[in-house]
Chain A
């Protein structure tokens, strides 16, 4: 290997190690903060588990089993060692290992958020470009309305309204849940991704049912995300519009769309990628209200239920997974931005 190649490999290795250290450090800090917050919770987890009527002996036994009779540094240490070995503890509210619960609920959120993200990217970028091509036009006005509506209308209310109209009244789409009753709880869900599992089940109608039940929650998340993506991309594009390279491109006779697609959009890639990353992380952890309204499993709902139940292992496990997603998505975004924009 030549010296240049060796240096490049070393740089890549150093970057990788730095990223791994960032991930580990962030997760460790997250773990400590979440653990401290859980310890400060005014809810007694043992009492929550055994109930108000249980005997004092049962209560003490529960405290012991949950490790609440140990000093907090010991509890944190014990939990951290478990995490290293992949053991996130047992959820007090489901009675199942947290890792198993997360394997069940996280794919559901991932599927919903990813679908919403794909639609939002396509729609958002298209709206942004049309809007930037005709500033002050009808599309521009529509974009502003969409952005305002997406950010100001409560998603819970919008979800109920959409359910009432498109499911209860018009019956165009599936309602709450992930499948019709005829399929739900009868087909196996090995991956937790309902589209994939319904497709692979081979049960006639299951896939269509899964799609029908995904339409509304996906569109609802899209309504929330698309305004932000389109608006921020539009602003980035308009900022580029007055730059010399754009004027030069136009002067050479390039058409409006050619300039937009070939010159301006690539130049805004770093901004767009950052916006997309932020939106995706928000969708991953912020789908809780959609999951509640549509009675869909998901990590947001799992975490919320755990918070109400003072279920510390479930809270810690969910926070770690969401935190890991944040770090990974940010890391990947940084990498892509560097690749796409040599100045960074």
Chain B
């Protein structure tokens, strides 16, 4: 992460005089003046919460809910906030790796926020229910070979402080640890959640807007599309949270979020547009932070679309790699909110390939197209989300592709519509982004470099890319127990995808946020769930 600008709160806009005038005016109307500062001991975060479907870790799989889970729940193991590339202890104080299984030692002093002790039964129930409910993130646990029928036999209570976890899928222990460190593997208090179960829902409906975890915070109140209010858990593991309350306000307009943080009614504002962020640079009382994000953006050609046979021609894919103005998009168009990255593992991920061999080179692209007989004028429809920055990126692509004789017809649509068309193989080309589901290279590799033609969905399957050898290599990598060797395999896979796939990976996101100058201790990592409020002070 980097802090690009800061200044102290002493240089804030003077407000006392204005407040006195306002107080007089408003008092004349029988009112009192507004208080333009968030309350002490309360951190106010302005962002959109419209994406939250559920705050049950077995169901919630959206950016905002995943950010919240880290504050609400612990997992057996979880990424170390300061060194996210390594798995650290969570509710388990340690573990022993055995072939095909892991034996976890539960912390004897671990308790949920309501005071209940964490038991092996809670671990087994939580993991089992996530598989049986079979909601959005269940596929992550399915990666261990667990199904609703078999999961119970893979989770065994050894004694009051030990749980043995086994798996039937051909994967190694490091992959299993990554899966158990994902948010869907959060440990829920069985006694609390089960007591609110209705119609066999394993507490799912109640956990939509309540929490039953052992994380540093607990839900005080969740109002959909309005706010998520978290109270500090006094029984929190390690140091208790420094602040008593976190208020995450849903503020849909980016301009409104900017105003809130400028005035001081919000301490942190997320998801500002590149122009807004650039405009706040050097503003007194604010500090601007940038954190790398695991999201990578890419152009995909659907080779199965027979309406445009050129899409299946590898020469088109090769030419496209030289037809993107990587630097211009990342730095000029999107004001450094993105960086050029050309491999599916985001920079910062263990095993990530940071080579960027491609640049905008129109003559080279033209010669590739000419050699392949594609220089007679190719027209391709490009589907894109109808919002910033996707439409801007699409316009840049349209201009550079046109210079090589490829006519891109931009088709903007709602996010849901684009994904519906991608799923049904109706797109020709589409600009998308990818966020890993858990902090393991296999999450991305199984998307970009695995097509088993067995009904399993992946990006390779969506593109119709037939890759039996690469798929075998991807499966070998996930089985590999040696960490160093495993990373090397993923570099090989990324190189191959970078060189020959029908997608062009171009950019990696930077997560930018604006904070009041008095905020300290905020931490954020590469993955969506790596948002840590527990050490924040103001």
A259 adjacent to chain B (CB < 8 Å) = no
B259 touches A61 (CB 8 A): no
- Given known pairs A43-B420, A209-B34, A310-B416, the reply for A301 and B225 (CB within 8 Å) is yes
Tell me how far the C-beta of A190 lies from the nearest C-beta in chain B, rounded to whole angstroms.
14
Give the complex CA separation of A53 and B461 in angstroms: 12
Task: A79 to B139: give the CA distance in the assembly, Å.
Answer: 31
CB–CB B142/A171 < 8 A: no
Expressed in whole angstroms, the Cα–Cα distance for A212 and B27 within the complex equals: 11
Name the residue on B nearest A94 (C-beta). Answer: B224
Q: Does any Cβ of B come within 8 Å of A251's Cβ?
A: no
Contact A49 B263 (CB under 8 A): no
Query: In whole angstroms, how far apart are the Cα atoms of A181 and B243 in the complex?
Result: 15
Known contacts: A55-B142, A185-B227. The answer to whether A42 contacts B35 by CB under 8 A is no
Judge whether A205 is part of the interface by a CB distance below 8 angstroms.
Answer: yes
List of B residues within 8 angstroms of A302 by Cβ: 225
The segment out of A69-77, A235-243, A290-298, A327-335 that lies at the interface is A290-298
Q: Are B417 and A292 in contact (CB under 8 A)?
A: no
Number of interface residues, chain A, beta carbon within 8 A: 59
Q: How far is the CA of A293 from the CA of B225 in the complex (A)?
A: 14
Check B18 against A171 for contact (C-beta < 8 Å): yes
CB within 8 Å of A: which of B455-505? 455-457
0/1 interface trace, chain A 308-322, chain B, CB 8 Å (1 if under):
111000000000000
Q: How far is the CB of A206 from chain B (nearest CB, A)?
A: 11
Question: Which residues does chain B contribute within 8 Å of A208, judged by CB atoms?
Answer: 26, 30-32
- A170 and B18 within 8 A (CB): yes
In whole angstroms, what is the CA distance A174 to B151 when docked?
53
Query: Is there a chain A Cβ closer than 8 Å to B398's Cβ?
Result: no
Say which residue of A61, A171, A295 sits within 8 Å of B19 (CB atoms).
A171
Contact of A164 with B by CB under 8 A: yes
A48 sits at the interface (CB 8 A) = yes
Binary CB contact string for chain B from 127 to 155 against chain A (1 if under 8 A, 0 otherwise)? 00000001111110010000000000000
> Does B163 sit at the interface, judged by CB under 8 A?
no
A contact residues around B256 at 8 Å (CB): 160, 163, 176, 293-295
Instruction: Report if A173 contacts B (CB, 8 A).
Output: yes
**Cross-interface CB contact of A50 among B32, B136, B413, cutoff 8 Å:** B136
* Among B33, B413, B455, contact of A171 (Cβ-Cβ < 8 Å): B33
Contact between chains at A93 and B53 (CB < 8 Å): yes
Q: Decide: A171 and B263 in contact? CB cutoff 8 A.
A: yes
Within 8 A of A (CB), among B81-99: none
Inter-subunit contact B39/A172 (CB<8 Å): no
CB distance from A180 to the nearest CB of B (A): 6
Judging by beta carbons under 8 Å apart, are B32 and A92 in contact? no
As a 0/1 sequence over residues 162 to 198 of chain A, the CB contacts with chain B under 8 angstroms (1 = contact) are 0110011011111111001110110000000000000
Contacting pair B417 A295 (CB below 8 A)? no
Instruction: Pick out which of these stretches binds chain A: B188-196, B247-255, B287-295, B313-321.
Output: B247-255
* Alpha-carbon gap, A55 to B458, bound state (A): 10
CA distance A115 to B247 in the complex (A): 28
B62, B134, B265: which contacts A57 (Cβ < 8 A)? B134
> Cβ of A244 < 8 Å from any Cβ of B?
no
Which chain B residue lies CB-closest to A212? B34
Q: In the complex where A205-B32, A295-B250 touch, is A101 in contact with B19 (Cβ < 8 A)? A: no
- On chain A, the residues within 8 Å of B456 by CB distance are 55-56
State the Cβ distance, A128 to closest chain B Cβ, in Å.
26
Asked if A211 is at the interface (CB within 8 A of a chain B CB), the reply is: yes
Interface centre among B34, B36, B262, B265 (most CB of A within 10 A): B34
Q: Given the complex, which residues of B lie within 8 Å of A297, measured CB to CB?
A: 223, 225-226
Is A58 a contact partner of B31 (Cβ separation < 8 A)?
A: no
Question: Using Cβ atoms and an 8 Å threshold, which residues of chain B touch A309?
Answer: 50, 416
Q: Given known contacts A160-B256, A293-B256, is B225 in contact with A54 (CB within 8 Å)? A: no
Q: Which of A211-226 contact B (CB under 8 A)?
A: 211-212
What B residues does A310 contact at CB under 8 A? 416
B376 contacts which chain A residues (CB < 8 A)?
Answer: none
A185–B419 contact, CB under 8 A? no
Contact, CB under 8 Å: A95 / B134: no
Residue of B nearest to A50 (CB): B136
Please report the C-alpha to C-alpha distance between residue A42 and residue B427 in the assembled complex, in whole angstroms. 13
B34 touches A43 (CB 8 A): no
Establish whether residues B53 and A53, one from each chain, have CB atoms under 8 Å apart when the complex forms: no
**A52 within 8 A of partner (CB):** yes
| Beta-carbon nearest neighbor of B413 in chain A | A42
In the complex, A96 has a CB within 8 A of chain B? yes
Contact B416 A167 (CB under 8 A): no
Interface residue? A47 (CB, 8 A): yes
A184–B251 Cα distance when bound, in Å, is 14
Closest to B148 in A: A57
- Do the beta carbons of B437 and A53 come within 8 Å of each other? yes
The answer to whether B249 and A211 touch across the interface, beta carbons within 8 angstroms, is: no
Query: Within the complex, which residue of A42, A52, A181, A301 is in contact with B417, where a contact is CB–CB below 8 Å?
Result: A42
Please list 20 pairs of residues, one from A and one from B, whose beta carbons are closer than 8 Å in the complex, sorted by A's number.
A42-B417, A47-B416, A48-B419, A52-B423, A53-B139, A54-B61, A54-B137, A91-B224, A95-B208, A160-B253, A171-B22, A172-B26, A176-B251, A176-B259, A181-B39, A181-B42, A212-B26, A212-B33, A293-B255, A295-B250
Q: List 9 additional contacts besides A51-B136, A58-B139; criterion CB under 8 Å.
A: A47-B420, A49-B53, A50-B135, A56-B455, A96-B208, A175-B34, A175-B265, A184-B247, A212-B31
Ranked 4 nearest A-B pairs via Cβ: A43-B416, A94-B224, A55-B139, A44-B420
